[in-house]
């Protein structure tokens, strides 16, 4: 099972158990320890996961952090665990104190649902006030799953994570700010926007008048921009296929009484897979081919009798199935529309990377 699927499965576990975890200790046992086990750590080995790790702070002796995670006899992460209903904004100070007393570069604050990852970007050996990464297991952002995967035992590399932390931290703050403006523009943002095209005196009444206009305009613009991109991509692919002597997207197969016609949903799905693939390989290597039974998408097309399958699309008027190929069999996932493919971005990337690696061998 792919890492993204394991995380989604674990998310379902949280939903089932969250009403039955009345204490911090229950949260640790049911959610937090299993989560780090999912990341590959042996939670029952005190040499790897040290519970109640003593981190003396100044004159305070016997101060304990819930877990210290060690690799190669070195403490790499400190974990402060809270109850599932605890608000984590009030507890980062405790982790802050522990962080300064050890050589760990990363601190994690969690209530079993939300995981906040900290390091010392602003001042060496002093934990930053704000996390560089937040993972909400009940609201999974697939774009952040590769960052979480870096914390797995097999992938953990202190330098790699630290180097990426700065960009993550600031991109997170920018994203959070922008999401706020989309949902509910602040007074300052509204003033900045309105002042850029009008000389009106910005009273509170004027600000309140323009807030809903700014919100609506931004959201409409984003929707139109996305629709235009999809529309232009469809037109470009259709146009290029007319002059392509060896078409890679559309292929008509004429039988005695049948003719394969590629639908817009199939073409849109192909373009989505192609766009996702660009993160790990050249999009030119992603080949689409329509057949009577399915629309197939491969890496580098056909080599002899062997296809390097990325996925297949089995679309009918009644149901759409997006299929991964595992051991020669289809793992079918029912979707509502092509945009749902983005939910499986990480699995697609891992499939493509594995196929490319296999070719290199």
Domain count, the chain: 2
Q: Is residue 285 part of a domain?
A: yes
Q: Is residue 78 part of a domain?
A: yes
- Distances, alpha carbon 24 to alpha carbons 64, 65, 105, 195, in Å: 15, 14, 25, 50
8 A C-beta contact, residue 41 and residue 49: yes
171 lies in the same domain as 269: no
Laid out side by side, the sheet with 114-118 consists of: 49-54, 64-71, 74-81, 106-110, 114-118, 133-136
133 lies in the same domain as 268: no
Task: Report phi then psi at 320, rounded to 5.
Answer: -120, 130
- pLDDT in the model for residue 91: 64
Helix (H, G, I), strand (E, B) or coil at 64: strand
Show the domain range for 324.
Answer: 264-360
Residue 124, domain CATH? 3.90.1570.30
172 lies in the same domain as 268: no
Q: Is residue 251 part of a domain?
A: no
Domain's final residue, options 176, 207, 233: 176
Q: How far apart are CA 137 and CA 141, in angstroms?
A: 9
Q: Which two tokens stand for residue 338?
A: 């092509």
- Residue identified by tokens 């990377």 is 353
- Label residue 5 left, alpha or beta by phi (over 0 means left) and psi (-120 to 50 means alpha): alpha
Domain's final residue, options 176, 210, 228: 176
Q: How far apart are CA 294 and CA 311, in angstroms?
A: 10
Q: Which of 95, 150, 84, 101 is nearest to 128 (CA)?
A: 95
Task: Report phi then psi at 76, rounded to 5.
Answer: -110, -25
Give the residues of the chain that fall short of pLDDT 50: 59, 242-258, 304
170 lies in the same domain as 268: no
149 lies in the same domain as 289: no
Q: How many CB atoms lie within 10 A of CB 251?
A: 16
Q: Is residue 209 part of a domain?
A: no
- pLDDT in the model for residue 61: 62
Q: Is residue 122 part of a domain?
A: yes
22 lies in the same domain as 151: yes
Q: Is residue 152 part of a domain?
A: yes
- pLDDT in the model for residue 151: 95
- pLDDT in the model for residue 34: 96
Q: Which class for 284: exposed (0-12), middle (13-18), buried (19 or more C-beta within 10 A)?
A: exposed
Domain's final residue, options 119, 144, 176: 176
pLDDT tens digits, residue range 161-213?
998 888 888 887 888 888 888 888 999 999 998 888 877 888 898 899 888 88
Concatenate the DSSP letters of all residues of 261-280 into one string: ---HHHHHHHHHHHHHHTTT
- pLDDT in the model for residue 123: 86
């Amino acid at each position: 099972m792919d890492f993204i699927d394991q995380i989604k499965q674990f998310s379902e576990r949280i939903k089932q158990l969250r009403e039955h975890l009345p204490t911090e200790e229950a949260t640790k046992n049911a959610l937090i320890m299993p989560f780090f086990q999912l990341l590959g750590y042996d939670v029952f080995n005190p040499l790897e996961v040290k519970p109640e790790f003593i981190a003396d702070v100044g004159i305070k002796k016997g101060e304990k952090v819930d877990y210290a995670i060690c690799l190669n006899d070195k403490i790499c992460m400190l974990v402060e665990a809270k109850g599932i209903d605890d608000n984590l904004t009030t507890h980062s100070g405790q982790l802050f104190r522990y962080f300064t007393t050890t050589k760990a570069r990363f601190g994690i604050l969690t209530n079993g649902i939300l995981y906040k990852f900290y390091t010392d970007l602003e001042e060496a050996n002093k934990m930053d006030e704000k996390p560089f990464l937040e993972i909400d297991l009940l609201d999974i952002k697939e774009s952040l799953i590769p960052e979480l995967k870096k914390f797995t035992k097999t992938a953990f590399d202190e330098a790699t994570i630290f180097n990426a932390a700065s960009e993550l931290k600031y991109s997170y703050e920018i994203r959070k700010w922008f999401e706020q403006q989309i949902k509910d523009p602040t007074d300052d943002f509204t003033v900045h926007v309105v002042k850029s095209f009008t000389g009106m005196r910005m009273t509170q009444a004027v600000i309140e008048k323009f807030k809903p206009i700014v919100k609506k305009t931004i959201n409409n613009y984003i929707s139109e921009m996305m629709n235009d991109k999809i529309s232009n991509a469809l037109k470009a692919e259709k146009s290029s296929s007319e002059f392509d002597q060896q078409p890679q997207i559309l292929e008509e197969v004429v039988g005695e009484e049948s003719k394969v016609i590629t639908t817009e949903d199939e073409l849109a799905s192909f373009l989505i897979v192609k766009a996702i693939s660009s993160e790990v390989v050249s999009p030119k290597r992603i080949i689409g081919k329509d057949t009577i039974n399915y629309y197939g998408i491969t890496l580098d097309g056909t080599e002899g009798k062997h296809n390097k399958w990325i996925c297949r699309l089995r679309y009918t008027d009644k149901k759409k199935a997006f299929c991964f190929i595992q051991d020669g069999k289809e793992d079918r996932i029912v979707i509502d529309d092509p945009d749902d493919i983005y939910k499986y971005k990480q699995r697609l990337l891992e499939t493509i990377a594995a196929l490319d690696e296999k070719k290199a061998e």
